[in-house]
Amino acid sequence: MEKESPVFVAGHRGLIGSAVVRRLFREGFENLVLRDHSALDLTDAVAVDEFFTEYRPKYVVLSAGKVGGIVENKADPADFINTNLAIQINVLQAAHRKGVQRLVYFGSSCMYPRDCAQPMPEEMLLSGKPEPTSLAYAIAKLAGVEMCLAYNQQYAGKRSIPIIPNSAYGPNDNFDPKSGHVLSALIRRFHEARESGVESVVLWGSGTPRREFVHADDVADACLWLLSNDLSNLELPVNVGVGKDHSIRELAETIAGIIGYRGRIEWDAGKPDGAPRRLLDSNRILGCGWRPQVELAAGLRSTYEWYLDHAAILPPAAELSTAEKVRDFQSH
């Protein structure tokens, strides 16, 4: 991977995209092609084709897409499937036509069947129905994975690299309690609860579902590894996880402790839990020598520090614009 080559990171202001940009700069890549949603609408096929024609990126990291939590997925499934399918089709087609050397595409752990053997190996994809609360999003992401594999099969190569990170977190996450994912939403909930002195925080569900959390910097590290190394012996797609999961109750108690919230944590069991467990089997990429580096406790502390440094400029809760929501992929 030549450091002077143009690299297009789609979704560079979001969670995973910004981590990829940080990592590329740290490794000496300076020819990064970056456009936010207002400058390049990835759902516009003509605009995407013109962009690829003008800038001719050699490498592409597709971390853009419409993401959200359970509430948004249940309320706006058509938006989730339409937006993500359009982005994936436009970028993958343009990348193929313009001779992109390698493209990394991010799938999601919610693509796996709701009731799936744990940890989940890549072979279990399409073996059952995904969790209903995120079905439209999961179907869109599955289509993207299959597009990558189809291009590789038809055109004899591994230029399109679909990877499946588990629930990602870190700087530039969406900390809105309604539209964000569980870890970042809990950070904001407990911080505001501590600041306002409320005696209890009510959280959705039973607290028993288990999730695997991987820091965005580890995802970025895996991404760069896949862009740079010989993949001839690596079967695609590849899971990217840390090999350990935690219950939502454990996560909430840990975050509350880091933030210093001393009130009660109550659970509204009448609200949906989502899939009971999502732990990835990451042996494919681990077998190649890649390893995650960020422990959860350290990652939570650094993410909370980032939140404190940026809380004053974050959008008010539940008031994110559409453009801000269509920023970056992250797992449910």
Q: Which residues are catalytic?
A: 137
Provide the β-strand partners of residue 130: 113
Tell me the two tokens of residue 80. Answer: 């989730």
Q: Measure the CA–CA gap between 158 and 230, rounded to whole angstroms.
A: 10
| Per-residue buried b or exposed e for 286-301, using 16+ beta carbons within 10 Å of the residue's own CB | bebebebebebeebbe
CA 305 to chain centre: 20
Separation CA 11–CA 219 (nearest Å): 14
Going by DSSP bridges, is the β-strand pair 277-278/238-240 parallel, antiparallel, or unpaired? unpaired
Length of the chain, in residues: 332
Instruction: Give me the DSSP letters along 249-272.
Output: HHHHHHHHHHHT--SEEEEETTS-
Strand (E) or helix (H) holding 32:
strand 32-33
